[in-house]
Amino acid sequence: MPTGKRGLPATLVRRGGERILVDCGEGTQRQLLRSDIGLVELEEVFLTHFHADHYLGLPGMLKTFALRGRETPLTLYGPAGLADLVGTLRRIFGRLTYPVSTVELEPGEALARDGYRIETFATAHAVTSVGYALVEEERPGRFDVQRANELGVPGGPDRGRLQRGEPVTLADGRVVQPSEVLGEPRAGRKLVLTGDTAPVGSVVEAAAGADLLVHEATFLADERERARETLHSTAGEAALAAREAGVKLLALTHVSTRYFGHQVVEEAAALFPATVVPRDFDIVTVPFPERGTPELVRSGARSGRAPVGSEA
Amino acid sequence: MPTGKRGLPATLVRRGGERILVDCGEGTQRQLLRSDIGLVELEEVFLTHFHADHYLGLPGMLKTFALRGRETPLTLYGPAGLADLVGTLRRIFGRLTYPVSTVELEPGEALARDGYRIETFATAHAVTSVGYALVEEERPGRFDVQRANELGVPGGPDRGRLQRGEPVTLADGRVVQPSEVLGEPRAGRKLVLTGDTAPVGSVVEAAAGADLLVHEATFLADERERARETLHSTAGEAALAAREAGVKLLALTHVSTRYFGHQVVEEAAALFPATVVPRDFDIVTVPFPERGTPELVRSGARSGRAPVGSEA
């Protein structure tokens, strides 16, 4: 259920110029319009499962793209049943100005992207569901300019080759290996989004060492029975998963209308201190590990009411 | 299309304790939550036609009612095709905790209500469509207390009978007629909502003498050709309808994202000065004629951004 302050599930992932939407609850197009990002021409939307609060924003958003005359294709990803769902939704959104295709994914699949991959993992919900992990490749080590100068590597293409991991033969016949001028390979980043799920080992496994784990926390401990019946997690259970997985930051979402963000943070932080509960329009930045740690950035109050008590 | 400032079509009509929703675009449940009214348990929702921007808020709102455990039945009204549409939407909203029924209406029908009736009238849009007029019954004339005292009518039930239009026999055998103590019958109020429509005589007819005409104005004169192609109205055309119908106040809605409210008011006011363009959450009050004239009341800025330039 939405509230005056909280919209329905939708998370936008930005990486360089890329924009990926994960889940698309009712009103997502307008939330994007009201955000600093705007309603950009998303090319990929990932659904974690097919409860209406996670997809009802799709038909309206697809129609808006068509009203703008969009021609760029759009691909929807989701667990088994996606094609059926989109078949039903097509009766609503009708003919569009651009092609929409669907890709059904099993847990354990990986989609190759430029510099990273999107992996699916098993979650445990009342309907077929899947979680998503964005896992960046290792980046080459830092290029040691001083050392390259000492070795007599000329500026230009030869240095590029070394950075890409290729050996280079100099004018005088000497061969310089990449390892002579490059530091240790640097870790990529890892972002894991669970969607709705009860506590389950596959989530901890998928989240191992993640920079950011975006985990649902529908309930608090006082509603643990209800969490079990509905296959959701409590804030404490999400914190335990983050702790076992050794993530850097835990962002809790999908909070029941009965709780305030600070209550959720309190319960989780007792087990896992690096926990935040983002509000609508908040941003979590995930820098390269050598540049800092993931951090919640509060947005301006665009959700239409005064901010709820602080919880960072 | 929505914008950051403007949600999708939905108008709530309040009369005493009654709440009637006309159209239910994506995000309506949340707009209600963010309004001073809240997401009340609506018992009747009227749709003007079945373009997605006018009904996509229904499945989510119906599901939210069910999550609250609602048991009160809900009735949906709309033109021919409503049952089909709701059949499709049921695949989304599934089983609810309360019954939802549909009533298809032809133009020219009237639903009797306590003290008023809801009449349908023909509109001209690209799909089957209908407009709604809420027409109050005449109210009895004002009760002249001084005259009743002079005639010796005792306080209590006898005066109630006279007010309801029944003659009364006094203790001394004299008969007092209602006309002796009541002024002229007082007009009821009339509120007319067009939904999407091209200019058409049936709208002017339905709006004759209305206190408030809520008329679409998707375009301005510079887009008249497009208005014709898409079966919408320009602001000037809506103003002309209001003028011909002799309404007291014209409220323009369904404004294209390309225009600002003040532009729309300017074009319309040249033909019909009593024109307003309500913003989201604004209220138009319609008092009984003897108590004042219909008026736009700006709401607090709950739409999440600063107000657009004033246009009252």
Q: Averaged over A219-246, what is the pLDDT?
A: 97
Q: Looking at CA atoms only, how far is residue B126 from chain A in angstroms?
A: 15
DSSP result, B184-237: SPBP--EEEE--S----HHHHHHHTT-SEEEEE--B-GGGHHHHHHHT--BHHH
Q: Averaged over A185-213, what is the pLDDT?
A: 97
Token couple for B198:
């091209």
Q: Give the C-alpha separation, A14 to A37, whole Å.
A: 10
Q: Looking at CA atoms only, how far is residue B13 from chain A in angstroms?
A: 20
Q: Looking at CA atoms only, how far is residue A124 from chain B in angstroms?
A: 21
B299 pLDDT band, cuts 50/70/90, is: confident
Helix B82-93 crosses helix A82-93 at what angle (to 10 degrees)?
A: 150
Phi, then psi, of B147 in degrees rounded to 5? -65, -40
- Judged by CB atoms closer than 8 Å, whether chains meet at A67 and B27 is answered as no
The answer to whether the CB of A250 falls within 8 A of the CB of A243 is: no
Of the partner residues A4, A56, A94, the one whose CB lies closest to the CB of residue B59 = A56
Going B301 to B12 to B207 to B230, the CA torsion angle's sign is positive
The answer to whether the CB of B202 falls within 8 A of the CB of B123 is: yes
> What are the pLDDT digits (tens) for B130-183?
999 999 999 889 999 999 999 999 999 999 999 988 999 999 999 999 999 999
Q: Between residues 43 and 102 of chain B, which touch chain A (CB distance below 8 Å)?
A: 52-53, 56-57, 59-60, 63-64, 67-68, 88, 91-94
- Judged by CB atoms closer than 8 Å, whether chains meet at B29 and A2 is answered as yes
Task: Kindly state whether A26 is in contact with chain B, defined as any CB-CB distance less than 8 angstroms.
Answer: yes
Residue in B with minimal Cα distance to A280: B304
Residue in B with minimal Cα distance to A84: B91
Q: Between residues 247 and 266 of chain B, which touch chain A (CB distance below 8 Å)?
A: none
Percent helix, strand, coil in chain A (nearest 5)?
Answer: 30, 25, 45
Going A253 to A256 to A262 to A267, the CA torsion angle's sign is negative
The answer to whether the CB of A11 falls within 8 A of the CB of A251 is: no
Contacts of B88 in chain A (CB under 8 A): 88, 91-92
Buried b (16+ CB within 10 A) or exposed e, A176-194: bebebbbeeeeebbbbbbb
Indicate the pairing of strand A74-78 with strand A100-104.
Answer: parallel
Angle at A20 between CA A17 and CA A25, to 5 degrees: 140
pLDDT at B19: 96
CA distances from A105 to A101, A119, A231 (A): 13, 10, 21
- 3-class DSSP state of A206: helix
pLDDT at A229: 96
The rounded percent of chain A whose pLDDT value lies above 90 is 92
Which of B30, B92, B229, B280 to substitute to test the interface with A, most A CBs within 10 Å? B30
Q: Averaged over A16-29, what is the pLDDT?
A: 97
The answer to whether the CB of B224 falls within 8 A of the CB of B234 is: yes
pLDDT at B164: 87
- Judged by CB atoms closer than 8 Å, whether chains meet at B30 and A7 is answered as yes
Q: Give the C-alpha separation, A226 to A231, whole Å.
A: 8
Any residues with CB less than 8 A from the CB of B17 and at least 6 apart, and which? none
pLDDT at A277: 97
> What are the pLDDT digits (tens) for B226-272?
999 999 999 999 999 999 999 999 999 999 999 999 999 999 999 99
Q: Averaged over B83-105, what is the pLDDT?
A: 96
- Judged by CB atoms closer than 8 Å, whether chains meet at A8 and B60 is answered as yes
- 3-class DSSP state of A285: strand
The answer to whether the CB of B134 falls within 8 A of the CB of B52 is: no
Contacts of A27 in chain B (CB under 8 A): 26-27, 30
Active site amino acids of A: 53
Phi, then psi, of B73 in degrees rounded to 5? -65, 155
Contacts of B2 in chain A (CB under 8 A): 29-30, 33, 64
> What are the pLDDT digits (tens) for A75-104?
999 999 999 999 999 999 999 999 999 999
- Judged by CB atoms closer than 8 Å, whether chains meet at B33 and A2 is answered as yes
B304 pLDDT band, cuts 50/70/90, is: very low
Q: Looking at CA atoms only, how far is residue A129 from chain B in angstroms?
A: 17
A300 pLDDT band, cuts 50/70/90, is: low
Contacts of B30 in chain A (CB under 8 A): 2, 4, 7-8, 26-27
Q: Looking at CA atoms only, how far is residue B249 from chain A in angstroms?
A: 29
Residue in B with minimal Cα distance to A67: B1
Q: Looking at CA atoms only, how far is residue B302 from chain A in angstroms?
A: 5
> Cβ of A46: how many Cβ atoms within 10 Å?
26
> What are the pLDDT digits (tens) for A11-21?
999 999 999 99
- Judged by CB atoms closer than 8 Å, whether chains meet at B92 and A27 is answered as no
For the whole model, what pTM was predicted? 0.89
Task: Kindly state whether B40 is in contact with chain A, defined as any CB-CB distance less than 8 angstroms.
Answer: no
Partner residues linked to B81 by β-bridges = none
**Candidate from A199-208, B12-21, B84-93, B298-307 with smallest mean pLDDT:** B298-307
Q: Averaged over A53-75, what is the pLDDT?
A: 97
Of the partner residues B3, B34, B53, the one whose CB lies closest to the CB of residue A33 = B3
Q: Which of B23, B53, B114, B222 is catalytic?
A: B53
The answer to whether the CB of B122 falls within 8 A of the CB of B195 is: no
Q: Averaged over A180-205, what is the pLDDT?
A: 96
Residue in B with minimal Cα distance to A91: B88
Q: Averaged over A174-201, what is the pLDDT?
A: 95
Q: Give the C-alpha separation, B274 to B232, whole Å.
A: 21
- Judged by CB atoms closer than 8 Å, whether chains meet at A302 and B302 is answered as no
Q: Give the C-alpha separation, B215 to B238, whole Å.
A: 6
At B241, which helix (H) or strand (E)?
helix B235-245
What are the DSSP E strand ranges found in B16-126? 18-22, 44-46, 74-78, 100-104, 110-113, 116-122
Greatest Cα pair distance, chain A, in angstroms, is 74
pLDDT at B309: 33
- Judged by CB atoms closer than 8 Å, whether chains meet at A305 and B34 is answered as yes
Instruction: Give, as one character, the DSSP assignment of residue B55.
Output: T
CA distances from A240 to A208, A217, A269, B246 (A): 12, 12, 10, 68
Res. A311: pLDDT tops 90: no
Contacts of A47 in chain B (CB under 8 A): none
Any residues with CB less than 8 A from the CB of B306 and at least 6 apart, and which? none
SS (H, E, C) A19-83: EEEECCCCCHHHHHHHCCCCCCCCCEEECCECCHHHCCCHHHHHHHHHHCCCCCCEEEEECCCHH
Helix A82-93 crosses helix A58-67 at what angle (to 10 degrees)?
A: 50
Any residues with CB less than 8 A from the CB of B48 and at least 6 apart, and which? B22, B23, B54, B78, B79, B123, B129, B130, B131, B132, B193, B194, B195, B196
B300 pLDDT band, cuts 50/70/90, is: low
- Judged by CB atoms closer than 8 Å, whether chains meet at B4 and A304 is answered as no
Task: Kindly state whether B9 is in contact with chain A, defined as any CB-CB distance less than 8 angstroms.
Answer: no
Supply the mean pLDDT for chain B: 94
Buried b (16+ CB within 10 A) or exposed e, A51-66: bbbbbbbbbbbbbbbb
Distance between start and end Cα atoms, chain B: 24
Identity of residue B218:
T
Res. A202: pLDDT tops 60: yes
Contacts of A34 in chain B (CB under 8 A): 4, 304-305
SS (H, E, C) A286-303: CCCHHHCCCEEECCCCCC
- Judged by CB atoms closer than 8 Å, whether chains meet at A1 and B64 is answered as yes
> What are the pLDDT digits (tens) for A106-129?
999 999 999 999 999 999 999 999
Cα B275 to chain center, whole Å? 16
| Helix/strand number for chain B, H first, E second | 10, 16
Indicate the pairing of strand A130-136 with strand A116-122.
Answer: antiparallel
Q: Between residues 282 and 311 of chain B, which touch chain A (CB distance below 8 Å)?
A: 302-305
Residue in A with minimal Cα distance to B57: A26
The answer to whether the CB of B194 falls within 8 A of the CB of B252 is: no
Supply the mean pLDDT for chain A: 94
- Judged by CB atoms closer than 8 Å, whether chains meet at A30 and B88 is answered as no
- Only one residue has tokens 């939905």, namely B10
Q: Give the C-alpha separation, A299 to B110, whole Å.
A: 50
Identity of residue A259:
Y
- Judged by CB atoms closer than 8 Å, whether chains meet at A34 and B304 is answered as yes
